[in-house]
Amino acid sequence: MSTRVQPRRAVLLFARAPRLEARLKGLAKAEGLFHFARARIRAAAQACGAELVVVGAGPSALPQRGRNFGERMAAAFADVFALGFDSVAAVGLDAPGLSANELRAAFVALERGDLAFGPTHDGGAYLIGLRGHQQDVLHRVRWQSRHTLSDLRARAGERPVHLLLVLRDLDAPRDLAAARAEAEASWAPLLEACLGRGPSSPHLVELAAGILLPRVPSIRGPPALA
């Protein structure tokens, strides 16, 4: 009797350090929110049977390669597929509402042959899910703009596309208030503190992550590239 081989899934995290992420977005009080997003992504990847592969700085991270964001995105996908993964979902730290539900839906879509995109309110994409033969969609895309999702869909051509739930991403201080209006009750206090409306505590991140993501073991970094 043949045994069905389980496809290898990877969550590709493009991540700066939370403090740097907060500073570059003008969200100085929101460092804890990006720590929370990283913990949530790590646990969501595990819940979906995926390995977390980080692109950025750090001893266990894959290095970024390329002159611009588009080249770095394409290189990161190529590097992760070269490690033997079948399905890859790329995400960042700026959509803290991303949960295991969206990741799971993305991998299910990928395994039936669809492309998977997670739309943001401003026309961007918080998740890009591909299989190895679909990487051509990454070319000629106006990245980090209100055209990103429409360009990705245009590049998909006649191929089926699965769109995930629309989520709020955090690009500027004005996005915090909108995110607070949509946040789950369990991590709303963290957003209140980011907005200066509630007490700030070093335990708020642990509290939010603990409610949503109990007892999450750490995931080791990816194997070194040859």
Specify the 3-state DSSP secondary structure of 107: helix
- Average pLDDT across the chain, whole number: 82
3 located within any domain: no
pLDDT band of 63, cuts 50, 70, 90: confident
193 located within any domain: no
In terms of C-beta distances under 8 Å and separation of at least 24 residues, what long-range contacts does 4-8 make, across chains too? Answer: 6/49, 7/86, 7/87, 7/111, 8/51, 8/84, 8/85, 8/86, 8/87
If one compares 225 and 182, the residue with the highest pLDDT of the two is: 182
Task: Record the tokens describing residue 109, joined without a space.
Answer: 């879509």
177 located within any domain: no
Say which CATH number the domain at 34 has: 3.90.550.10
Q: Tell me how many domains the chain contains.
A: 1
Q: What angle do CA 61, 67, 72 make, to 5 degrees?
A: 40
204 located within any domain: no
Domain that holds residue 22: 9-172
pLDDT for residue 102: 94
- Is pLDDT above 80 for 104? yes
Q: What is the pLDDT of residues 7-16, one digit of tens each?
A: 899 999 987 8
47 located within any domain: yes
* The residue type at 4: R
Nearest-CA neighbor of 94 among 160, 190, 25, 155? 25
213 located within any domain: no
Specify the 3-state DSSP secondary structure of 163: strand
222 located within any domain: no
> Looking at the whole model, is its pTM more than 0.75?
yes
103 located within any domain: yes
